[in-house]
């Protein structure tokens, strides 16, 4: 949900003022602070759309299904007509645990040629439950925007909804929705008979000596941003490799296995 906001509260002021941008760049390079130190998006909320505030159940153990975050910049692939003296900001609505799944497959030509791109079908919003999450999330984001305006903050919707009917909400999603980051689970940890790519020690089924250690091995998508989980996977993979070296050294009669290998 995109809004016009005071230029002082928008990252777009760096684009509107070349002197400010150059000054901020020098400030960041020399002192490591200033406007360019900001990640632009600094406020996040994870919620379950079936129990939104004020009826939010803080004791629930259910995974949140939507993430809302305020970004001090325009969040859409279709740029607006910027008004002089105003910046842009947005409330991003992101489905945390989408039910829709896609595929990544080798093309016939790519089976023997790594320069040929794979066939990728994200299959976005192919499950009705994902549409419901976005509808409820957008309606709640609208309420957040209204509360901000009612408290005296100067913001104005850039692309207001025609109405809040399911049909208009879906049309809004189709027109202004865009893909996010963090693609996961394309090499998920499952048995080969269930379509898995790696086993519980991250070894690729059928290929000796190859492991995968990134977000693609997640059996299912995590509800929060996956950076910390990816680090955990990498550290666990290092443990697996060290343990395998240790076992190999013992089998080969080497007592000082640490001196035989280096982990890079």
Active site residues: 182
128-150 vs 166-176: helix crossing angle, rounded to 10: 90
The encoded tokens of residue 157 equal 């919707």
State phi, psi for 140 to the nearest 5 degrees.
-70, -40
The encoded tokens of residue 172 equal 């809004």
Judge whether 105 and 119 are in contact, CB under 8 Å: yes
DSSP state of 93: E
The encoded tokens of residue 80 equal 């607006």
Q: CA end-to-end span of the chain, whole Å?
A: 45
The encoded tokens of residue 99 equal 């039910």
Residue partners of 27: CB distance under 8 A and separation at least 6: 33, 34, 35, 36
Query: CA neighbours within 13 Å on the CB side: how many for 110?
Result: 11
CA 102/CA 179 separation, integer angstroms: 13
In terms of phi and psi (left: phi > 0; alpha: psi -120 to 50; beta: otherwise), the region of 62 is: beta
Residue partners of 133: CB distance under 8 A and separation at least 6: 49, 65, 66, 95, 98
CA 107/CA 111 separation, integer angstroms: 6
């Amino acid at each position: 949900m995109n809004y016009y906001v005071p230029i002082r509260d928008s990252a777009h002021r760096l684009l509107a003022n070349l002197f400010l941008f150059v000054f901020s760049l020098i400030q960041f390079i020399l002192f490591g602070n200033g406007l360019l130190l900001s990640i632009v998006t600094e406020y996040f909320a994870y919620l379950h759309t079936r129990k939104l505030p004020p009826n939010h159940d803080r004791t629930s153990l259910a995974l949140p299904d939507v993430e809302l975050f305020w970004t001090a910049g325009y969040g859409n692939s279709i740029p607006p007509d910027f008004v002089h003296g105003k910046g842009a900001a947005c409330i991003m609505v992101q489905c945390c645990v989408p039910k829709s799944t896609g595929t990544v497959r080798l093309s016939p030509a790519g089976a023997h040629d790594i320069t040929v791109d794979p066939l990728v079908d994200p299959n976005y919003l192919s499950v009705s439950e994902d549409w419901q999450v976005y509808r409820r999330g957008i309606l709640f984001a609208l309420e957040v925007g209204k509360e901000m305006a009612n408290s005296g903050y100067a913001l104005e919707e850039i692309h207001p909804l025609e109405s809040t009917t399911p049909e208009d909400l879906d049309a809004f999603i189709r027109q202004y929705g865009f893909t996010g980051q963090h693609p996961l689970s394309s090499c998920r940890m499952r048995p080969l008979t269930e379509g898995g790519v790696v086993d519980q020690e991250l070894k690729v089924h059928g290929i000796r000596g190859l492991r995968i250690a990134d977000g693609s091995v997640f059996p299912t998508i995590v509800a929060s941003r996956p950076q910390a989980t990816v680090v955990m996977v990498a550290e666990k993979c290092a443990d697996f490799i060290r343990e395998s070296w240790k076992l190999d050294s013992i089998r080969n009669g080497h007592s000082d296995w640490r001196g035989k290998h280096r982990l890079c």
